[in-house]
């Protein structure tokens, strides 16, 4: 994982009734400011958020790095 990365990715986490796993949909990005606050830029706005849905912000990881790690397992 990229430690102290200023670039973050925003996901909408959708929990559907009767399904074990949640669905993560990338909806935008965020940038960490010098004072620790964030600016959030949404490409999509989730409609009809359920009581168990959430917006999650994670460190950005390049796709190539994720693929390389999966081959090492």
Task: Give pLDDT tens digits for 6-42.
Answer: 899 999 999 888 888 988 999 999 999 999 999 999 9
Average pLDDT for 50-68: 80
**1, part of any domain:** no
Predicted TM-score (pTM) above 0.75: no
Decide if 2 is inside a domain: no
Please name which of 20, 57, 21, 61 lies closest in space to residue 42, comparing C-alpha atoms: 57
Number of domains in the chain: 1
pLDDT at 72: 53
Range of the domain at 33: 7-71
The band of 50, judged by pLDDT with boundaries at 50, 70 and 90, is confident
Is pLDDT above 70 for 62? Answer: yes
Structural domain includes residue 55: yes
Cβ atoms of 9 and 57 within 8 Å: the answer is yes
Q: Which residue in 71, 8, 67 sits closest to 40, CA to CA?
A: 8
């Amino acid at each position: 994982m990229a430690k102290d990365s200023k670039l973050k990715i925003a996901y909408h986490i959708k929990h559907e009734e009767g399904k074990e796993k949640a669905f993560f949909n990338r909806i935008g990005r965020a940038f960490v400011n010098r004072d620790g606050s964030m600016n959030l830029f949404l490409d999509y706005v989730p409609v009809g958020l359920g009581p168990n849905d959430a917006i999650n912000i994670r460190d950005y990881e390049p796709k190539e790095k994720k693929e390389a790690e999966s081959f090492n397992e």
